[in-house]
Amino acid sequence: MGRYDGRVAVVTGAARGIGFGIATRFAEEGASVAIVDLDESAAAEAAGRLPLVDGAKAVGVGCNVSDAAAVDAAIERVVTELGGIHVLVNNAGITRDNLLFKMTEDDWDLVMGVHLKGAFLMTKAAQKHFVEQKYGKILNLSSVSSLGNRGQANYSAAKMGVQGFTRTLGIELGPFGINANAIAPGFIATEMTDATAARLKMDVEEFRKLNAEHNPVKRVGFPEDIAAAAAFLCSDEASYITGQTLYVDGGAKLG
């Protein structure tokens, strides 16, 4: 018996990286999984690679999470094709890094639209089903950048906003059997961080080693590290935890 047998989990931005790692862990533990991504073909391809067990199903859904109509349609499609919804992971995200004096309004609006508006719209659509069934798990992805990071005024503000959003969800939705928590990852080895290395004209392994030196455990994180925390926080074992943000960063922000 897996912790997620009979459950349906929706993970946004899950065609690759942290999102795909979380989706994979849910599938391994018995869930049917909807991979939601801006690129439906990439979402469908990723869904086809999930290690499903015991008759669970997977679907890839194309959706712009900052578009209300698209979000409503995506959630209804998941409920129809997979038979319900029990877990929502708001992972979709983008970066538009720049120093404040170079940052454009579009840089700001795009990041806020995906991270904050996207989490709001997805949660609003899913909570209708959660409230009706008196059960639901919401997990939002924040970041250690929420504590401030040079060149990321937009991303830092959005990721701290995610934490405030999560706390409020805990207060409002707790009486309806719904838990809402957040994870703030540190440096995670993904295509996105590899792309950062390329922009800095650094070798990927050198870039990872440099970041590993900035935390007490002296290694970088991987999507599996975030997936392990997600699998716990969205499980019934964590039913007395809500409104919290767990930093999964190798202790980088302790000092």
List residues with catalytic annotation. Answer: 155
Q: Where are the beta strands (DSSP E) in 156-240?
A: 178-185
Helices 153-173 and 105-112 cross at an angle (nearest 10°) of 30
220 close to 187: Cβ distance less than 8 angstroms? yes
Coil, strand, or helix at residue 35?
strand
Write down the residue that tokens 């970066």 correspond to: 95
Residues 213 and 81: their CA atoms lie apart, in Å, by 46
Q: Quick one: which of 139, 99, 137, 93 has its CA closest to 116?
A: 93
Q: What element of type H or E holds 40? A: helix 40-47
Residues 214 and 253: their CA atoms lie apart, in Å, by 9
